[in-house]
Chain A
Amino acid sequence: MRHIISILLENESGALSRVAGLFSARGYNIESLAVAPTDDPSLSRMTIVTSGTEEIIEQIVKQLNKLIDVVKLADMTEGAHIERELMLIKLRAEAEQREEIKRLVDIFRGRVVDVTTETYTVELTGDSDKLDAFINAIGKMQIIEVVRSGSIGIARNGNSLVL
């Protein structure tokens, strides 16, 4: 099953590679990884999307907790949460296709952020499924380039991953 694990870690050089190294050394899967400092510059927040059996996820959480640089973590998937990913996608958009593409972008609530005579560059946010759905809807033939940020997540309600 897919899990979104959010981690607060010391914003120190090497902290990222400790996490990444743990996943490769123990053969865990990383679907995506996003990391940036928080409002407290001494802390980074990392979001890892991974998948595995319950036993494997349990081990991942325990092994992450064991890393000295990890201050706190939470498995977002355990409760209600909001997931977002940002995608920038450059599409072939020639004269006769432009209207159709624009309509599709609107349906997905995306925005065209750059235009040339042959291309549209579209910005789209949503959970990963929504971005996948847009890619499927637009069709492989139209796509020139895709860049995705990896998912980030935050818990709903009063649950917060803070110090």
Chain B
Amino acid sequence: MELTGAEIFVEALKREKVEYVFGYPGGAVLHIYDALYKQEDVQHIMVRHEQAATHAADGYARASGKPGVVLVTSGPGATNAVTGIATAYMDSIPLVVITGQVPTNLIGVDAFQEVDAVGITRPCVKHNFLVKDVKDLALTMKKAFYVATTGRPGPVVVDIPKDVTANKAEFDYPETISMRSYSPVVPVDLSLVETAVDYLLQAKRPMIYAGGGVILDNAAEELIELTRLLGFPVTHTLMGLGGYPATDDKFIGMLGMHGTYEANLGMHNCDVLLAVGARFDDRVTGNVDKFCPTAKIVHIDVDPSSISKNVKVDVALIGHVSVFLRELIKGLKARKQKPDPEALAEWWKQINEWRSMDCLKYDRDSERIKPQYVLETLYRITQGEAFVTSDVGQHQMWAAQFYKFNKPRRWINSGGLGTMGFGLPAAMGVQLAYPNDTVVCVTGEGSIQMCIQELSTIKQYGLPIKVVNLNNGYLGMVRQWQEFFYQRRYAMSYMESLPDFVKLAESYGHAGILVTKPDEVEAALQEAMEINDRAVFLNFITDPEENVYPMIPAGGGQNEMILV
């Protein structure tokens, strides 16, 4: 039977078992919206700004492990989506983003709401397509989902001109697909596993440094097994949190610019580093010339271009993280050897000495609300079971430091691109994926205002998200840098013009709670957890000049931390 392009599109979503499409209608996608209207399998979530559609789909993907799907119109619809696409690209999140396009006969004539969506998104997608003929639509959709979800995942854009959605073609959706120019399954070179096992067994001061690849490849179990088998300390990147249980003794905290003292010194002094699904980002390495000066490095990554891009490694294990972790476990068990127990005990003694510095300490007797205290309390009250999304800045770092993530996919944040405005729409996607779980958006009064319009979407779909707004009246991370590196010249602040967030939340139909004193924090959080028929906006007025410690200043080595 012949279907219209719009119908083919919707059928393709059904075949891909898509539950939700996050989008915003407009002229170029009206045929598609009409086709969506006529069915009930795929639910469309209408946001208030296309950026939020991409973040919501992204949050859904990060929490559920399934690809997020976005539908926006041509022109400004597409350009508004770009920030979210770039966010997903930097963190390797599988998205399929459909942008409407002007009819094929108008492409290139500066038509109303025309932009070169394929051109604009090219540098921030894994791949993109312009569908010029309805006959190609089904296959292109199949390719889009295939490319987005395999190998190193990422966003894929499909640009569909309006006439293509109206024209008809036979619907033929392939079950499987192969592309001659794309092979996500790299042949695994097992010969190197033995070399890696040698390194691990010979290590006297080992470290495991695990990143988002562990989460993306669902390899947490393997990471836990390997770490326990070896008895090595493990640190996570911002993207890896939750891969290894944070409350376990082997976990020595996050590393990097705002990593723990023990994690960063452990990295700096280690002799063998096992990097697992991590990409040696500059926020992790600090100055690469000073990075892990005495370490032999074994690196597992699915993307060959991540190997030796920033830091030269000694053994490259290219392939899926879970596959190589299992191979390492197998290799270690076959050897029946253990790393030198005395050396390891000595190393742990050293690490525990660093740990005893208690680098995350803060003033617990302050009369002002300390943001760290809010997050510690949040962790306690939710028993570490909540999904926590965040925006970008100080609150993001505190959330990463103080909320102990024991399970993967619970910590949802924009690590690579650092997109303010991510947290609230991402929380929508997470809550839709897990309607019965607690979803908290940790944010600040700066970030929240970048996508605050989504309080309306949240109302529409009845999502009981808890917004934890750490309101210090400053763009906190900017202010911290200005304090440290610009002699307290606080260029650009807005304390006089902030809205009354409680009233704002209430005007959208949500609950708003103002919290100004430390002894009110716990009760307010408890109260918020009880409200489940709408969102709750908790406005915590926090210590305005609290800083995130430790901190490695730009250009510093991992042993050059500023401590509290």
A residues with a Cβ closer than 8 A to B are: 9-10, 13-14, 17-18, 21, 25, 55, 58-59, 62-63, 65-66, 68-71, 163
Contacts and interface: CB of A to CB of B under 8 A. Distances in A.
Interface string B300-324: 0001110111001000000000000
Contacts of B181: 9-10, 68-71
A14 B118 contact: yes
17 contacts: A10-B181, A13-B130, A55-B308, A58-B308, A62-B307, A65-B304, A66-B304, A66-B305, A68-B126, A68-B147, A68-B179, A68-B181, A69-B181, A70-B181, A71-B180, A71-B181, A163-B180
A66 B304 CA distance: 9
Contacts of B182: 68
B48 interface: no
A21 B122 contact: yes
B127 interface: yes
A163 B180 CA distance: 9
B304 A17 contact: no
Nearest to A163: B180
Contact of B119 (A17, A58, A69, A71): A17
A51 B355 CA distance: 47
B308 A63 contact: no
Nearest to A72: B181
A59 to B, nearest CB: 6
Tell me which of A10, A13, A68, A70 has the highest count of chain B C-beta atoms within 10 A of its own C-beta.
A68
A110 B337 CA distance: 70
How many of chain B's residues touch chain A, expressed as a range? 10 to 19
A59 B305 contact: yes
Contacts of B122: 14, 17-18, 21
Given A25-B123, A59-B309, A62-B304, 10 more contacts: A13-B130, A14-B118, A55-B308, A59-B305, A65-B304, A66-B305, A68-B147, A68-B181, A69-B181, A71-B181
Interface string B167-193: 000000000000111100000000000
Contacts of B312: 55
A163 B309 CA distance: 28
Interface of B: 118-119, 122-123, 126-127, 130, 147, 179-182, 303-305, 307-309, 312
Nearest to B132: A13
B479 to A, nearest CB: 32
A30 to B, nearest CB: 16
Contacts of A62: 304-305, 307
Nearest to A22: B123
B180 A14 contact: no
A18 to B, nearest CB: 6
A68 B305 contact: no
A154 B535 CA distance: 64
Contacts of A13: 130
Contacts of A68: 126-127, 147, 179, 181-182
Contacts of A9: 181
A66 B440 CA distance: 36
Nearest to B309: A59
Contacts of A10: 181
B130 A14 contact: yes
A72 to B, nearest CB: 8
Nearest to B152: A66
A21 B116 CA distance: 15
A25 to B, nearest CB: 5
A132 B277 CA distance: 47
Nearest to A65: B304
Tell me which of B118, B147, B179, B180 has the highest count of chain A C-beta atoms within 10 A of its own C-beta.
B180
Closest 5 CB pairs between A and B?
A62-B305, A68-B127, A71-B181, A25-B123, A62-B304
A44 to B, nearest CB: 12
Contacts of A163: 180
B464 to A, nearest CB: 40
Nearest to B119: A17
A153 B256 CA distance: 45
B181 to A, nearest CB: 4
A68 B126 CA distance: 8
Contacts of A25: 123
Nearest to B180: A71
Tell me which of B118, B181, B303 has the highest count of chain A C-beta atoms within 10 A of its own C-beta.
B181
Nearest to A62: B305
A37 to B, nearest CB: 15
Nearest to A58: B308
A14 B181 CA distance: 15
Given A68-B147, A71-B180, A21 B123 contact: yes
A21 B124 CA distance: 11
A87 to B, nearest CB: 32
A17 B130 CA distance: 14
A63 B152 CA distance: 13
